[in-house]
């Protein structure tokens, strides 16, 4: 079941997150967030000049909107439709990259590593709070970006008491 969040230029330009909040917040309130794993896609309607070669993640206004969204829902990758490319596009909104017509998105390697590890830490804690087994999910997410995570990392994280319950 695909869940679509529609964005337009007005919401992007005013940093209005209400279209995302209207979709995501009810998923949290119903207490069955695990049922919506990898279901969300974004439909972005943002006008560009016909000669503008930029991809959507290269437009600063759109990137800023996604950075703001990520500050509210740092665990959002759990809900994104990975198979439809939403995780890669979301990452491109947050990580410096270059777009090559032939090779696609080429992330800055150091920035990607920092992003992936930060998401692993956030998602590990959040998944535990939700009562969802996360190790295999997080390993799969890291593998999508070319990283292999050792079980030892998760063993370390499991012995760390969570401090913030948000």
Summarize pLDDT for 98-138 with one digit per residue, the tens. Answer: 888 788 788 999 999 999 999 999 999 999 989 888 899 99
Domain that holds residue 118: 3-159
Is residue 63 a part of any domain in this protein?
yes
pTM of the model: 0.89
Is residue 164 a part of any domain in this protein?
no
Burial code (b: 16+ CB inside 10 Å, e: under 16) for 73-107 equals: bbbbbbbbbbeeebbbbbbbbbbebeeeeeeebeb
- pLDDT of 163 above 80: no
Is residue 165 a part of any domain in this protein?
no
pLDDT, tens only, 15-48: 999 999 999 999 888 667 888 899 999 999 999 9
| Number of domains into which the chain is organized | 1
Q: How far, in Å, CA of 113 to CA of 5, rounded?
A: 27
């Amino acid at each position: 079941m695909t869940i679509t969040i529609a964005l337009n230029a007005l919401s992007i330009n005013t940093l209005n997150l209400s279209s995302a909040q209207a979709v995501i917040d009810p998923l949290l309130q119903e207490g069955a967030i695990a049922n919506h794993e990898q279901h969300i896609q974004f439909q972005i309607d943002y006008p560009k000049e016909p000669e503008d070669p930029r991809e959507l993640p290269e437009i600063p206004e759109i990137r800023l909107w996604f950075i703001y969204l990520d500050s509210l829902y740092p665990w959002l990758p759990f809900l994104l439709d990975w198979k439809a490319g939403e995780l890669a596009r979301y990452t491109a909104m947050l990580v410096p990259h270059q777009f090559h017509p032939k090779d696609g998105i080429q992330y800055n390697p150091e920035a990607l590593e920092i992003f992936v590890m930060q998401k692993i830490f956030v998602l590990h804690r959040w998944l535990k709070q939700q009562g969802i087994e996360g190790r295999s999910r997080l390993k799969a997410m890291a593998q999508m970006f070319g990283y292999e995570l050792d079980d030892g990392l998760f063993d370390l994280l499991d012995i760390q008491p969570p401090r913030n319950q948000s």
